Amino acid sequence: MMDKNMIKNNKVGELLERYPFIEEFLKDHLVDIQEASDLTLGAYLNLMDPEVLEEKAIIPDDLIESLISYTNQMIDFLGLEEESGVHSITLLPGINKHKVGETFGELQINRGEIISIVGPTGSGKSRLLADIEWGANGDTPTKRTVLVNGEPMDIESRFSSGRKLVAQLSQNMNFVMDLSVEEFIELHAKSRLVENEGEVIQKIFKKANELAGEQFELTTPITSLSGGQSRALMIADTAILSTSPIVLIDEIENAGIDRKKALDLLVGEEKIVLMATHDPILALMGDKRIIISNGGIDKVMDITEKEKSILHKLEALDDVIQDMRTKLRYGKDLEAGFEIKKV
Ligand SMILES: Nc1ncnc2c1ncn2[C@@H]1O[C@H](COP(=O)(O)OP(=O)(O)OP(=O)(O)O)[C@@H](O)[C@H]1O
């Protein structure tokens, strides 16, 4: 949301970058955007000749007030980034499948952090993601509570579909729509009312292809994308177009995409990322990991420096497997064996 501090601390150019729709408002109120762009709005209005201000009936404080109220109405109307104020989520303990209380105290996760969730099959990893998506308030089977910025999620955030706090990337990416990749991204960009639609489409398309093993075109029908390609498209789309600050990922290991680039892309956009995984490489790419057993959070572990150093070795091993996979796919034999890069 916009407020007086934001107007005081940002140049007009920066405000315009963040809220492109205020351009018309400023022009209508006789602000010369070129001239004002390197100044704060207050400074620009101060520099204006008082006679001109009077002649044009501009009262600086009133203008700033109406800009704030106009911007906030537009943010509401467009369903934009009211969640941008989310800087953390906090998990409070509940109970496991045997109704024994969890003992992790509380866990705060901040923007730009990646948390992996590990545990045996059926242990409750997806349940934890669902608790977060639902904004659990002691009312799910685990009885956990999820706080946003230290407060329980309000009813509106929990139940309104337009203002999603959480983007969910699930294992199941079956598309039923008969659209090309370009039409699909365009549809999403239109629904978010982005200004620079063409640029956004190109950016998502480019990023998705960087993540996907096999290239696809803007004209490719989304129904004929491979599992990995559709995953890559959804990740790029979520990172770039979704205003949801929290991204939940249920298993990306088998999708055949560049996992490191995918996580870098999401974290670069300052998301809170939680992912359920069985893959040690992904788990070590995070900042912390949550260990689930019998439906409860058993432990929360920091990723140690020593583990991070193992990550490089695991990546070297993974390169070998990926290379073998590519050879297999393209009908080559594997007789040459392999060498593991020294790290
Ligand atoms: N604390 C709990 N209390 C009661 N039921 C629970 C609890 N935690 C998980 N469950 C239930 O246990 C079942 C298995 O959990 P879940 O699907 O989350 O496992 P998972 O770790 O994601 O498994 P997989 O690795 O196979 O995807 C689900 O029906 C879930 O609702």
Compute CA 86 distance to the chain's CA centroid, rounded to the nearest angstrom: 12
Tokens (6 digits) for 312: 């490089």
- Pocket probe for ligand 1: among 99, 116, 123, the residue whose CB has the most ligand atoms within 8 Å is 123
Between CA 105 and CA 115, with CA 96 as vertex, the angle to 5 degrees is 55
Q: pLDDT value at position 73?
A: 81
Burial class from Cβ neighbours inside 10 Å (0-12, 13-18, 19+) for residue 100 reads: exposed
Ligand 1: centre distance to CA 131 (Å) = 11
Q: pLDDT value at position 161?
A: 46
Give how far Cα 280 sits from Cα of 135, 149, 231, 292, 337, Å: 28, 30, 20, 15, 24
Ligand 1: centre distance to CA 142 (Å) = 9
Ligand 1: centre distance to CA 306 (Å) = 31
Ligand 1: centre distance to CA 301 (Å) = 20
Q: pLDDT value at position 101?
A: 96
What are the boundaries of each domain within the chain? 4-78, 86-303
Q: Which residue has a Cα nearest atom 11 of ligand 1?
A: 124
Q: Which residue has a Cα nearest atom 12 of ligand 1?
A: 124
Rounded-to-integer distance, Cα 121 and Cα 133, Å:
20
| Pocket of ligand 1 from Cβ distances under 6 Å | 95-97, 119, 121-127, 141-142, 276, 295-296
Atom of ligand 1 nearest to the CA of 96: 1
Ligand 1: centre distance to CA 129 (Å) = 10
Atom of ligand 1 nearest to the CA of 294: 8
Contact status, residue 90 vs residue 265, Cβ threshold 8 Å: no
Q: Which residue has a Cα nearest atom 23 of ligand 1?
A: 122
Atom of ligand 1 nearest to the CA of 144: 1
3-state secondary structure of 40: strand
CATH of the domain spanning 86-303, picked from 3.40.250.10, 3.40.50.300, 3.40.190.10, 3.40.630.10: 3.40.50.300
Residues of the chain with pLDDT under 50: 82-83, 161-162
Atom of ligand 1 nearest to the CA of 292: 21
DSSP 3-state percent helix, strand, coil across the chain (nearest 5): 50, 15, 35
**How many alpha carbons lie under 13 Å from residue 158 in its C-beta half-sphere?**
17
Q: pLDDT value at position 171?
A: 54
Q: pLDDT value at position 141?
A: 95
Q: Which residue has a Cα nearest atom 31 of ligand 1?
A: 127
Q: Which residue has a Cα nearest atom 18 of ligand 1?
A: 124
pTM: 0.70
Angle at which helix 197-211 crosses helix 259-268, to 10 degrees, equals 150
- Pocket probe for ligand 1: among 102, 118, 126, the residue whose CB has the most ligand atoms within 8 Å is 126
Rounded-to-integer distance, Cα 300 and Cα 290, Å:
5
